[in-house]
Copies of this chain bind each other. A is one copy, B any other.
């Protein structure tokens, strides 16, 4: 199995970052402006990009420390069976967000695209918390011309 891994350090408390990962309002500051359903374990979050987009089932929440989602539904097809994990760790002057999107069946061009795009969105999370100016879709940085 293959995984995408990223790590950013944010000048914000784990409480603030956890909020940005577990509420519709928080998630919409950095990933996409169209998000519904965030809540407790068992919730299904619908992330939409121009109408389409993935759903995730919230499978683990440890306040201010861990957020785990299981991909839910049938699209995008390459994401079926994949899992997303955010782990927060405070170190002296910042909180590190360790991200993984794991259980990919193969290392494809699409996986490579998603890897770059996740970096863009994690930097958007960093900006949302540090400057109040995240870049959620449709204002996200383009990584290609499609």
Contact = CB atoms under 8 A, between A and B. Distances in A.
Interface residues of A, number: 33
Interface stretch (A17-25, A54-62, A69-77, A120-128): A120-128
Interface string A118-146: 01101100100000000000000101111
A98 interface: yes
Contacts of A123: 116, 120, 141, 143
19 contacts: A2-B3, A4-B5, A4-B115, A5-B111, A5-B115, A7-B109, A7-B112, A7-B143, A7-B144, A8-B143, A10-B144, A93-B145, A94-B145, A96-B109, A96-B144, A100-B112, A115-B119, A116-B119, A123-B141
